[in-house]
């Protein structure tokens, strides 16, 4: 490949991505024998993906299927009952959104719902936020949408303050597959308190997306919430954007959810082809393998040249890194796998970190996302040149500058940012992650590290309770408090907890000094 001209490489490698996108890997410096070397592993990846779509158990420890591909092609689901359930969920989303927009579902003290507050975290927030920002039309949207995606009390307060007096016309969506996600529940509780403080019924403004029978589902049923939407057990958070979890907020915002699903279905069909040069997901997975030696040795820097795609990097961080960042392979051997994802946008990045990309460490490959339709004003800022021309020129220049210094890059070209293109992007990366995971022998669909983090956080909160109980009116040092809390070997953590408790007004630092000499009391 390296002996051909750029034009020859471009023609030889360009791969269409239905329904109208293109994948260009001509600036990747793989050798001519690369595809032949990878063919056996790729065949195994195709077989694994075919079994997955047929209903194979993807997570043996959980006994769980992974079927996000069925969401945009219900006829491929492994049973007619499951296909009917998928269609029923989509119909419920459309019916509820239509009723809200038409004023058939209304709040008690306002003419109609005009805003949405979506509460979730991880896949319940990153996908919907990406789609909302990419496809939103501002004031022209059917409903304005805001998100709570953290347990930061200040962040929650800022978002609620931004809604202000419009709380009475705000529909709250609470999304938690398990029904027990701590961050989501915390956001819900603070939001419910804001409704109570305003003299409003939270239940009359709330709907939930959760598994039937979960604690959240039972709470919503008991309190008489407006609506409850089921989410399937076989939908993982990071692949849930084209499920009810992502389609309901999009439908309420007034976005084209049929276009999202159609774009994803078209891309899915292309990514089932067993010829890597004609299968954009297989081609992209192979390029990831080439760039990183199948070991994650280089990071992927996502550079969309479109403001609407700013959140693509954040969305891909979860989809790619949570799927591929695994300590063990499927055989239980330690492999420490992963693919680090960074994200910014062009041409902003040219005034931020392209200097290092061009001249610094060669520890990355770039993923450019280019959009042909400029949008906005066609005003010429110079004779014959628009702002869109500048944006496109900066992409061309950055791509060329990287290539001149032997920095590899991939370019995805979208005709425009519309529902079909965004649906195709989502489907492309979902499939790429699955194929690449098979190439390197890991499970893309579990997340043991996330669970370990949750358990560690629970342990820290339990220790905080014991630290509070160990405080007294008598000033004590950190080690004394740690010993009384039954955590003599965790003095550092105890000190950090005491700092937090003092800052939040639940303990007092009476002798400010070094950590070793500091003394604390109860209030």
Residue 142: count of CB within 10 angstroms of its CB: 17
- Quick one: pLDDT at residue 349? 81
The residues pairing with 57 across neighbouring beta strands, listed in sequence order, are 65
**Whose CA is closest to 159, among 119, 189, 204?**
119
- Quick one: pLDDT at residue 512? 84
Backbone CA torsion sign across 19, 25, 31, 32: positive
Q: What does 16-70 look like in DSSP terms, one character per residue?
A: EETTTEEEEEEE----TTHHHHHHHHHHHHHHHHHHHHTT-EEETTTTEE--GGG
Share of the chain above pLDDT 90, in %: 92
Per the rule left: phi > 0, alpha: psi between -120 and 50, beta: everything else, 102 is: alpha
**Whose CA is closest to 201, among 108, 114, 99?**
108
pLDDT, one tens digit per residue, over 141-185 is: 999 999 999 999 999 999 999 999 999 999 999 999 989 899 999
Q: Is 387 exposed, middle or buried (0-12, 13-18, 19+ CB in 10 A)?
A: middle
Task: Give the position of tokens 């907890």.
Answer: 497
Tokens coding 150: 């953290």
- Quick one: pLDDT at residue 329? 95
pLDDT, one tens digit per residue, over 294-332 is: 999 999 999 999 999 999 999 999 999 999 999 999 999
CA dist list (Å): 411 to 23, 58, 373, 457: 6, 31, 16, 40
Fold of 6-57+263-446: Rossmann fold (3.40.50)
Dihedral, 230, 232, 237, 242 alpha carbons, nearest 10: -80
Residue 350 — pLDDT band, cuts 50, 70, 90? Answer: confident
Catalytic residue set:
322, 351, 454
Query: Is 122 in a helix, a strand, or coil?
Result: coil
The residues pairing with 115 across neighbouring beta strands, listed in sequence order, are 144, 170
How large is the average pLDDT for residues 210-232? 97
pTM of the model: 0.95
Tokens coding 409: 């890059």
Q: 3-class secondary structure for 176-211? A: CCCCCCHHHHHHHHHHHHHHHHCCCCCHHHEEEEEC
Residue 2 — pLDDT band, cuts 50, 70, 90? Answer: low
Mention the CATH class of domain 68-255: alpha beta
Per the prediction, the chain carries an average pLDDT of 96
CA dist list (Å): 127 to 150, 260, 301: 15, 12, 19
Pairing of strands 519-521, 476-477: antiparallel
Query: Is 477 in a helix, a strand, or coil?
Result: strand
Tokens coding 500: 């937090």
How would you label 365-379 residue by residue, b for 16+ Cβ within 10 Å and e otherwise? bbbbbbbeeeeeeee
The residues pairing with 147 across neighbouring beta strands, listed in sequence order, are 118
DSSP-derived secondary structure letter, 328: B
Q: Is the pLDDT of residue 523 over 60?
A: yes
Q: Is the pLDDT of residue 1 over 80?
A: no
Residue 394 — pLDDT band, cuts 50, 70, 90? Answer: very high
**Whose CA is closest to 435, among 295, 323, 300?**
323
Domains 6-57+263-446 and 449-521 agree in fold: no
CA dist list (Å): 150 to 60, 125, 307, 334, 504: 30, 9, 24, 32, 18
pLDDT, one tens digit per residue, over 450-507 is: 778 888 889 999 999 999 999 999 999 999 999 999 999 999 999 999 999 999 999 9
Tokens coding 75: 């006829």
Task: Give the position of tokens 């960042």.
Answer: 325
Share of the chain above pLDDT 70, in %: 100
Mention the CATH class of domain 449-521: mainly alpha
Q: Is the pLDDT of residue 368 over 60?
A: yes
Tokens coding 371: 């959009």
Each domain of the chain, given as residue ranges in start order, spans 6-57+263-446, 68-255, 449-521
């Amino acid at each position: 490949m390296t002996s051909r001209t750029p034009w020859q490489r471009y023609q030889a490698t360009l791969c269409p991505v239905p329904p109208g996108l293109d994948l260009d890997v001509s600036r990747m410096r793989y050798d001519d024998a690369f595809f032949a070397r990878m063919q056996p592993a790729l065949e195994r990846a195709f077989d694994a993906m075919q079994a997955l779509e047929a209903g194979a158990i993807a997570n043996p420890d959980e006994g769980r299927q992974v079927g996000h591909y069925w969401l945009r092609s219900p006829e491929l689901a492994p049973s007619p009952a499951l296909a009917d359930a998928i269609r029923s969920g989509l119909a419920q989303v459309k019916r509820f959104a239509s009723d809200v927009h038409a004023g058939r579902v209304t709040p008690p003290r306002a003419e109609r719902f005009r805003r949405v507050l979506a509460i979730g975290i991880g896949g319940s927030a990153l996908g919907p936020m990406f789609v909302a920002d990419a496809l939103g039309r501002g004031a022209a949207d059917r409903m304005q949408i805001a998100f709570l995606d953290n347990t930061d009390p200040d962040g929650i307060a800022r978002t609620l303050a931004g809604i202000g007096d419009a709380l009475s016309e705000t529909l709250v969506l609470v999304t938690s597959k398990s029904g027990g996600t701590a961050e989501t529940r915390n956001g819900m509780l603070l939001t419910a308190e804001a409704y109570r403080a305003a003299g409003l019924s939270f239940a009359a403004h709330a709907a939930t997306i959760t598994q039937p029978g979960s604690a959240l589902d039972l709470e919503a049923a008991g309190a008489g919430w407006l609506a409850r939407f089921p989410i399937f057990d076989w939908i993982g958070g990071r692949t849930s954007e084209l499920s009810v979890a992502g389609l309901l907020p999009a439908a309420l915002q007034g976005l084209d959810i049929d276009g999202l699903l159609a774009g994803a279905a078209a891309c899915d069909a292309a990514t089932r082809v067993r010829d890597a040069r004609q299968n954009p997901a297989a081609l992209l997975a192979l390029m990831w393998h080439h760039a990183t030696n199948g070991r994650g040795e280089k990071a992927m820097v996502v550079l969309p040249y479109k403001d609407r795609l700013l959140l693509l990097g954040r969305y891909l961080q979860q989809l790619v890194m949570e799927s591929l960042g695994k300590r063990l392979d499927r055989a239980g051997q330690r492999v420490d796998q992963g693919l680090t994802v960074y994200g910014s946008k062009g041409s902003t990045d040219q005034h931020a970190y392209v200097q290092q990309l061009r001249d610094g460490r060669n520890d990355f490959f770039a993923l450019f996302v280019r959009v042909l339709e400029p949008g906005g004003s066609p005003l010429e800022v110079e004779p014959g040149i628009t702002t869109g021309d500048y944006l496109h020129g900066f992409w061309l220049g950055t791509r060329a500058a990287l290539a001149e210094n032997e920095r590899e890059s991939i370019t995805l070209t979208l005709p425009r940012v519309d529902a079909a293109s965004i649906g195709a992007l989502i489907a492309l990366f979902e499939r790429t992650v699955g194929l690449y995971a098979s190439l390197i022998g890991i499970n893309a669909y579990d997340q043991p590290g996330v669970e370990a983090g949750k358990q560690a956080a629970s342990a820290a909160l339990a220790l905080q309770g014991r630290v509070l109980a160990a405080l007294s009116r008598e000033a004590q040092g950190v080690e004394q408090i740690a010993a009384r809390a039954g955590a003599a070997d965790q003095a550092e953590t105890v000190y950090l907890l005491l700092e937090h408790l003092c800052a939040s007004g639940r303990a007092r630092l009476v002798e400010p000094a070094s950590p070793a000499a500091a003394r604390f009391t109860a209030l």
